[in-house]
Amino acid sequence: MKKLLNLFFVLIFTVAITSQLSAADKTPSDILTTAWNIDGKINFIATETTGMYVRDKFNVTISRVFSLSENKFRREYIFPPFLVGDLLIDDGTRSYYYQSQKKVLTISPSIFGPSQRESHNKLLKLILRNYNLVSSSDKYLGRDVSRISVYPADGRFPLLILWIDNQTNVILKREKYLPNGKIYEYSFYTDIDFNAMPSERLFVWIKPKEEFRVIEHKEKFIPLEEAGKYGPEIPYSFQKKGYECIGIKEVPGGIACQFSDGIKNFMVFNLESLPPIPPSSKKITTDGIRYSYWQIDSINGFAWNYKKESFLVIGMVERDIIEELIKSIR
């Protein structure tokens, strides 16, 4: 009996040590890659708080989150008051977002669809190519986690910090920063239950009894090699700056190309005509082309016309990138 007890304690000790070593032996890239691809593959029920810095303050939302390991997801908003009753359901094929107070249902392709997954994976490759990753051990919600800090090659401050659960590889907390070290976006779980098994019924859209308006987004993604058919030649890569186009889609009146270096993103719209430009925008001339420039919080905006084409750029993008874009289009 004594020998059996000794063997039992040896096994427990071995398992504990092995789990600690397995987490410690992984490189930051390994940890991030596993966590990046875990969405839609883990069962849990949680409460999540998110915040985004907009116009000198953080806009905070709180929601109940349900995840099923079949590419199914549900979010029920419980704060702020004007979002209470709003519901997001993704059944792996389509995403349904119902705004209960506005009586509007928006239907979009699933976030787990092939095009969305492809763009998601491209972001990971760009992060691994353009940024330096630093890993350290930490605790969050009483669980062992790996804290992954993502630094630009020439920066003092991380632009992204992730707290990744060592057991499930789920990202429990994330923070995004500007190059000056100021946080502008965050999300974290205040509680999470990995032993819960959400019911399949939670991921089925049920039509409400009241009348509502339906908006359906049928996004048409365009292969990069076919993009030239839809407008003037846009450079789809800024290799020197680390940016690449990770997706092109049709939008009303033109096309939109999303550029990213893995963390910083911006959209280039090639349109038939420009939308209204903020009155506070500045007028700048480069290479003989006059463009408008404005900034709202951390987001920059640029707009210009060239011949019969109109271009609009929105996102975390530097002016030298835009001027390079203007020259390349000419």
CA-based nearest residue to 286, from 306, 268, 271: 306
d(CA 79, CA 101): 13
- Would you say 164 and 172 are in contact if contact means Cβ atoms under 8 Å apart? yes
- How many CB atoms lie under 10 A from the CB of residue 196? 12
pLDDT in tens, 241-263: 788 888 888 888 888 888 899 99
What is the pLDDT at residue 103? 96
Q: By residue range, what is the domain housing residue 318? A: 221-329
Residue linked to tokens 């997954």: 117
CA-based nearest residue to 257, from 238, 244, 241, 240: 244
Reduced to 3 states (helix: H, G, I; strand: E, B; else coil), residue 33 is helix
Beta bridge partner(s), residue 188: 49, 173
Q: What is the CATH number of the domain that holds 284?
A: 3.40.1000
Model confidence at 17: pLDDT above 50: no
Exposed e or buried b per residue across 214-224, where buried means at least 16 C-beta atoms within 10 angstroms of its C-beta = eeeeeeeebee
CA-based nearest residue to 161, from 144, 141, 142, 184: 184
Domain final position from 193, 216, 239: 216
- Over its C-alpha atoms, the chain yields an Rg (Å, rounded) of 23
d(CA 170, CA 172): 6
> 53 with 78, same domain?
yes
Mean pLDDT in the chain?
87
- Would you say 177 and 150 are in contact if contact means Cβ atoms under 8 Å apart? no
Q: Average pLDDT, stretch 3-20?
A: 45
Please, is 195 exposed, middle or buried when counting C-beta atoms within 10 Å of its C-beta (0-12, 13-18, 19+)?
A: exposed
> 209 with 261, same domain?
no
Q: Going by DSSP bridges, is the β-strand pair 160-165/171-177 parallel, antiparallel, or unpaired?
A: antiparallel
- In order, the DSSP letters of 8-43 are HHHHHHHHHHHHHHHHHHS-HHHHHHHHHT-TTS--
What is the pLDDT at residue 57? 85
> 45 with 179, same domain?
yes
Q: What is the CATH number of the domain that holds 128?
A: 2.50.20.10
pLDDT in tens, 65-98: 999 999 999 999 999 999 999 999 999 999 999 9
* Least confident window among 17-26, 50-59, 269-278, 311-320: 17-26
Q: In percent, how much of the chain has pLDDT > 70?
A: 86
Domain final position from 197, 216, 235: 216
Residue 19 in domain: no
Domain final position from 175, 196, 216: 216
In sequence order, the 6+-apart residues with CB closer than 8 A to the CB of 255 are 222, 227, 230, 231, 248, 249, 269, 270
d(CA 162, CA 151): 12
Element (H, E) at 32: helix 28-36
> 126 with 61, same domain?
yes
> 252 with 127, same domain?
no
Tally of domains in the chain: 2
**What pTM value is reported for the model?**
0.86
pLDDT in tens, 149-205: 999 988 789 999 999 999 999 999 999 999 889 999 999 999 999 999 999 999 999
